[in-house]
Amino acid sequence: MSGPVLFRRGRVIDPRSGVDGVRDVLVQDGKVAQVSEAPLQLSGAEVVDAQGRWVLPGFIDLHVHLREPGEEGKETVLTGSRSAVAGGFTAVVAMPNTKVVNDSALVTELVLSRARAAGLCHVYPAGAITKGLKGEELAEMGELISAGCVCITDDGRPVMNAALMRRALQYATIFDIPVMVHEEDLTLSGKGAMTEGPTATRLGLLPIPPSAEVAMVARDLVLLEETGGRLHIAHLSCEGSVRLVREAKKRGLRVTAEATPHHFTLDDTAVGQYDTHAKMNPPLRLRRDAEALREALADGTIDAIATDHAPHGVLDKQVEFDKGINGVVGLETALGLTLALVHEGVLSPLKAVELLTDGPSRAFGLPGGHLAPGSTADITLVDPEVEWAVDAERFFSKSRNTPFNGRLLKGRVTQTWVGGRLVFSDGQIKESR
């Protein structure tokens, strides 16, 4: 058990309690004991001088691929946890599309035991909606949830069969867990390699129309309205999807949504001359789509910024564009790219922090995401002023596939604390053993 820690005179931004101001934060027995405007004293407490730093609830990422079991060359629960805490994330939701798929308690338990052994951040497994992600037969939802899954998803693939999707939503109401969906109508996306638009035309690549996503969002919102379940839409990428989610929320449907830093930062022009680091699914869309996502982040239509951290090997990307594998790593660049929206005046600091903490916590009903006394002391310290250039070679992730290599960012995580224990400090991981 770690001793008491006093974070002195940092700018505490805690969206759930509406706090944005200089405070002292006292941590005892791994929990937040006190947040005070007046300076605190406690003899024997380790003091962290937080002047000039932001003191934030630990970030929560609802969408991470840790690749274990099966593709440990790309990432493991351990290396993914390192990458997470280096990026300020104290909790991640691990997608089930591993090789073996997480569609049984056995795989869920394996991921949880690897996470305990890593001992760095909270890892919440997500179970599959359908057995083997095949979209044919529902997985044993009850078994997955008793084993520790916090949601179900076939992420990476849509559930094309509408009746099956309807049954998943209905069944999930028993457990009151979100059904997380990767919205893609495969008959519309086909063999497409990037979004429909001028860049696809110029490069002669097969296009993926926005309808591939928007039509599925529409379908699932209709199903949701009938079942009364909880729907979480992963990686929203299109203006049309944003509009549908905004309208559904207005009508009181239990829908939540996330957007990734790459979708709200980049557009199709990032593909440049067939850069496979700009290849992901859903694809980068047009500028007006990225603008719509930014608006939706600001007005509450989108609940969470999630990275869709998707590690891949070098060779997976060193191929022709249409054969290149989808996905980018994101844990270590998420904060800087989110803060870019603050610097551009799109988000207030409070809103930006909410999208990384309270928003994802509420969307999935996860613990954490705030600094209320009594809560687990998951805390992220940020230097908001430091400017740095992304260097993929220095990632803690095993993989280097990022379209942001060399990009200048302002604002960086300096320390990450999980349960009152320092796990990352000034560029170093603090392993417990």
Chain positions contacting Zn ion, by CB under 5 A: 155, 182
| 3 state SS of 160 | coil
Nearer to Zn ion by Cβ, of 184 and 358: the residue is 184
In one-letter notation, the amino acid at residue 179 is V
Q: How far is the CB of 219 from Zn ion (least distance, A)?
A: 16
CA–CA dist 169, 145 (Å, integer) = 14
Rg (CA), the chain: 21
Nearer to Zn ion by Cβ, of 326 and 348: the residue is 326
CA–CA dist 203, 193 (Å, integer) = 11
The closest alpha carbon to 413, from 351, 336, 358, belongs to 336
Assigned token pair, 338: 């989110």
Enumerate the β-bridge partners of residue 408. 389
What is the CB neighbour count within 10 angstroms for residue 181? 26
Nearer to Zn ion by Cβ, of 105 and 215: the residue is 215
Q: Which residue is nearest to Zn ion (CB)?
A: 182
Catalytic residues: 308
Q: How far is the CB of 234 from Zn ion (least distance, A)?
A: 5
* Kind plus residue range of the DSSP H or E element containing 293: helix 287-299
| 3 state SS of 25 | strand
Q: How far is the CB of 419 from Zn ion (least distance, A)?
A: 30
Q: How far is the CB of 307 from Zn ion (least distance, A)?
A: 12
CB 410 within 8 A of CB 339: yes
Enumerate the β-bridge partners of residue 298. none
Q: How far is the CB of 158 from Zn ion (least distance, A)?
A: 9
Nearer to Zn ion by Cβ, of 156 and 197: the residue is 156
